[in-house]
């Protein structure tokens, strides 16, 4: 799979080169007397030297053509002629013999051309070439098409089943699906308070914040500190804390020279003073302040809190995005760590290139077309220039043969902010494997078509000094080949420090690709596969409306949770996705991948027994939207001008059932307002009642039952009354009347009675205002 594309490229290059040389030689001889136009016979028109040159070149062309036919036999292993990718019945029984015969005919043609050097009979090679052309049309194209249309198509299942079976085996091997532990498990009863206690770690780490764009707005507003800092991305990772394992949302505070105040964007400020970001910010995933804002565990400048950052290495010199192509450190100009710092630290890292002498400065000035590097007096003999500081510039450049995940993430490793970026070895030439459109599987996060994919490399970049390391799985064939080709490029992943390995995550884009393929290729029986009886799909994200009515919205993104797999004791850091049957909305199974160092890369999939109807994401989300309590609250907020926003919809496996979680935010109509976490909607198991709470704890109490005091008996079977939210009975009465008035106004408008429409609308708005006042909400 690795050498075939290169052989095909080499054959094509040789063929085109020889054709070009032949044409040039023929023209040269014609111009300089190698052709005798006055000769009566064609053989006499060509002089012996010309005949020899042309015969050799044409013979070589035929040999290369024969090689092309022979290589083409292996191309059939990725043929798309049949129902699935790979050699089909027609390919094996018609196309393969044709290519073999054509390669033999091409060799015979080559021999006849070589023979023509001695024997002046152009008719023999001409006839041979004509025969080759005729055979290629009849045997290479017409005959396979005839077999496919009149022999295979009427009996498709009978002829193609063995080749479908090969495709199933090839696809499962190419995407690692054959390593997935696949089992059937039924869904149990809803969770009880005892289950809640037993799964406390999972309950305490249910993510309520959508990283982009909801949480990013809060980070920028509350922790940006200065306008020249920026948060470009927020990522979920796990950290050990005094309270046990916690999911945190972490973002680097990066420098953005475009945010330097107006009038201050001088060359010195952009390249010598504002050289780096500072520290990071982390927030709990499962809670909010009373004002609905995130609870930070790491915040401010200098950073304080957990995970703890070494103050001497808090500078973010290498980051996701950069505004200027270079910065210079170690100059006479003091770098800015942060405003108010008693002593701004100078760069002490190993990154950068010396730029102290005139020649070095001249070279970089020429490269960046920036004369200031020559004319400034701030550069000293110890100065260094930092280039390629963005991850996009720095990481892929040395390894253009790798494909990178769409989301690099920051981890704090032993006090040092470190970027981690997953990379993939891919090919489109794996035998019998079904090609995958990455854009379709990842909703455009990746592009291209592959039929083999492995997360063989993890690149790390020290955010302070830029140290770049590629940790690779050298047992993977493609990575091993590149490692032999470029000794020293890769470091064996087994040598990665334990503190770093603790932050390796199973990559989202690989998981999306595997889930997309597994939705069909969990079926291993070729007869069932042919009939498409049990095909699945990844459900659409129910919180995002499709662009057009009737269209399918973006796919549900994978999400990280801390949970126990069914039947196991230990909590794992899992990446999870549910499955639904193709074209339907009920849930039929789910898949999870572990990121824990002890079981990294373990993927487990579960299917529900046939006949069980388990609610899928869109069905539960629709019920949440229609819930009476939530509808009232949403109407109250919406009529007052606030915008109601949904967070990520999560289906979290707990014990033998699921928690369906939907965070809801509210943004006031004021321009500078921030999204506030307002409600948590929760359903305990398929078919459970919709519970609503102002916090996760309240929603869990309503859906599962409150955890009693020690020694107090639990009554898990007693139904829990959903909280009514902030509105008392009088508020409900006012809202009901307001809804009736709005409906009356709508009917009056349809009837053309504008006076009644205006009167009813004004009264409805008055009722909403009264309800808000009674509920204690600001107007």
Q: List strand residue ranges (DSSP E) for 213-308, in order.
A: 229-230, 235-241, 244-252, 254-255, 277-278, 280-288, 294-299, 304-305
Is 278 in contact with 338 (CB distance < 8 Å)?
yes
What are residue 182's DSSP bridge partners?
A: 605
Which tens digits make up the pLDDT trace of 212-258?
Answer: 888 889 999 999 889 999 999 999 999 998 888 999 999 999 999 99
The dihedral sign for the CA sequence 410, 412, 417, 419: negative
Q: What is the pLDDT of residue 709?
A: 38
- Residues of the chain with pLDDT > 90, as a percent, come to 66
**At residue 381, does pLDDT exceed 60?**
yes
Q: Between residues 514 and 721, which one has the greater pLDDT?
A: 514
φ, ψ (nearest 5 deg) of residue 567: 80, 5
For 450-517, the DSSP string reads ESEEEEEEEEEEETTT--EEEEE-TTSHHHHHHHHHSTTS-EEGGGS-HHHHTT----HHHHHHHHHH
Residue for token pair 């006042």: 773
Confidence band, pLDDT 50/70/90 cuts, at residue 778: very low
Is 170 in contact with 433 (CB distance < 8 Å)?
yes
User: Which value, to the nearest 10 degrees, does the dihedral of the CA atoms of residues 194, 195, 201, 203 take?
Assistant: -100
Which tens digits make up the pLDDT trace of 478-500?
Answer: 999 999 999 999 999 999 999 99
Q: What is the pLDDT of residue 14?
A: 72
Q: Pull the structure tokens for residue 229.
A: 């800092």
| Burial environment of residue 498 by CB neighbours within 10 A (0 to 12, 13 to 18, 19 or more) | exposed
Nearest to 572 by CA among 538, 539, 604: 604
Q: What is the pLDDT of residue 744?
A: 74
Residue 656: strand, helix, or coil? coil
| H-type alpha helices, 46-153 | 48-75, 89-90, 96-115, 123-137, 143-147
| H-type alpha helices, 338-459 | 358-368, 372-375, 391-394, 438-441
What number of other Cβ atoms are within 10 A of residue 157's Cβ? 12
Q: What is the pLDDT of residue 534?
A: 92
**Mean pLDDT, the chain, integer:** 87
Lowest model confidence (mean pLDDT) among 239-243, 288-292, 306-310: 239-243
Give the N- to C-terminal CA distance of the chain in Å, as an integer: 67
């Amino acid at each position: 799979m690795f050498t075939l594309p290169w052989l095909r490229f080499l054959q094509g290059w040789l063929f085109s080169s020889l054709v070009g040389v032949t044409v040039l030689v023929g023209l040269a001889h014609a111009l300089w007397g190698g052709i005798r136009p006055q000769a009566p016979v064609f053989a006499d028109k060509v002089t012996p030297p010309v005949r020899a040159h042309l015969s050799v070149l044409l013979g070589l062309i035929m040999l290369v053509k024969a090689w092309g036919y022979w290589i083409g036999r292996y191309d059939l292993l990725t043929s798309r002629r049949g129902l699935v990718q790979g050699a089909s019945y027609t390919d094996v029984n018609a196309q393969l013999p044709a290519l073999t015969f054509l390669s033999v005919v091409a060799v015979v043609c080559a021999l006849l051309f070589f023979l023509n050097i001695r024997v002046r009979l152009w008719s023999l090679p001409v006839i041979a070439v004509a025969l080759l052309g005729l055979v290629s049309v009849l045997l290479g194209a017409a005959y396979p098409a005839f077999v496919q249309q009149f022999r295979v198509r009427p009996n498709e299942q009978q002829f193609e089943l063995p080749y479908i079976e090969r495709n199933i085996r090839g696809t499962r091997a190419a995407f690692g699906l054959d390593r997935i532990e696949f089992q059937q498990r039924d869904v149990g009863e809803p969770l009880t308070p005892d289950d809640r206690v037993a799964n406390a770690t999972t309950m305490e780490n249910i993510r309520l914040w959508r990283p982009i764009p909801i949480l990013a707005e809060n980070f920028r507003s509350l922790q940006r500190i200065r306008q020249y800092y920026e948060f470009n991305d927020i990522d979920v990772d796990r950290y050990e804390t005094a309270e046990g394992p916690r999911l945190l949302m972490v973002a680097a505070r990066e420098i953005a020279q475009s945010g330097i105040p107006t009038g201050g964007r001088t060359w010195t400020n952009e390249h010598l003073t504002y050289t780096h970001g500072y520290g990071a910010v982390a927030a709990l995933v499962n809670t909010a302040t009373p004002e609905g804002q995130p609870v930070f565990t790491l915040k401010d400048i200098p950073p304080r809190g957990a995970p703890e950052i070494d103050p001497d290495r808090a500078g973010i010199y290498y980051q996701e995005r950069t505004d200027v192509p270079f910065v210079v450190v170690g100059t006479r100009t003091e770098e800015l760590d942060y405003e108010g710092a008693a002593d701004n630290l100078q760069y002490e890292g190993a990154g950068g290139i010396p730029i102290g002498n005139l020649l070095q400065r001249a070279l970089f000035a020429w490269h960046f077309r920036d004369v200031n590097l020559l004319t400034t007096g701030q550069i000293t003999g110890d100065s260094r220039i930092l280039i390629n500081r963005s991850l996009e510039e720095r990481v892929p450049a040395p390894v253009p043969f790798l494909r990178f995940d769409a989301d690099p993430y920051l981890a704090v490793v032993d006090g040092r902010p470190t970027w981690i970026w997953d990379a993939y070895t891919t090919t489109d030439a794996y035998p019998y494997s079904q090609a995958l459109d990455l854009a379709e599987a990842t909703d455009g996060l990746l592009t291209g078509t592959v039929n083999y994919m492995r997360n063989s490399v993890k690149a790390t970049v020290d955010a302070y000094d830029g140290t770049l390391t590629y940790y690779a799985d050298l047992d993977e064939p493609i990575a091993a080949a590149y490692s032999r080709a470029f000794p020293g490029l890769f470091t064996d992943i087994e040598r990665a420090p334990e503190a770093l390995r603790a932050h390796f995550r199973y990559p989202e884009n690989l998981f999306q690709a595997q889930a997309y393929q597994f939705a069909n290729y969990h079926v291993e029986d070729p007869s069932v596969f042919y009939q498409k009886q049990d095909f699945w799909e990844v459900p659409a994200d129910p919180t995002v409306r499709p662009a057009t009515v009737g269209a399918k919205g973006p796919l549900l993104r994978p999400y990280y949770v801390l949970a126990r797999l069914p039947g196991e004791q230990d909590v794992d850091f899992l990446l999870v996705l549910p499955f639904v049957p193709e074209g339907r909305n009920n849930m039929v199974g789910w898949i999870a991948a572990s990121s824990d160092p002890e079981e990294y890369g373990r993927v487990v999939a579960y299917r529900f027994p046939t006949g069980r109807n388990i609610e899928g994401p869109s069905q539960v989300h629709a019920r949440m939207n229609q819930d009476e309590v939530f509808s009232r609250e949403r109407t109250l907020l919406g009529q007052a001008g606030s915008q109601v926003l949904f967070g990520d919809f999560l289906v979290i496996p707990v014990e033998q059932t699921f928690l369906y979680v939907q965070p809801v935010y509210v943004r006031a109509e004021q321009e500078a307002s921030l999204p506030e976490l307002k409600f948590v909607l929760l359903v305990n198991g398929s078919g459970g009642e919709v519970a609503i709470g102002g916090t996760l704890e309240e929603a869990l109490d309503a859906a599962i039952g409150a955890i009693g005091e020690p020694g107090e008996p639990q009554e898990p079977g007693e139904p829990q009354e959903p909280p009514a939210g902030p509105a008392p009975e009088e508020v409900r009465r006012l809202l009901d009347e307001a809804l009736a008035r709005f409906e009356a106004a709508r009917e009056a408008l349809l009837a053309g009675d504008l006076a009644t429409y205006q009167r009813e609308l004004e009264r409805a708005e008055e009722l909403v205002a009264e309800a808000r006042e009674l509920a204690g909400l600001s107007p």
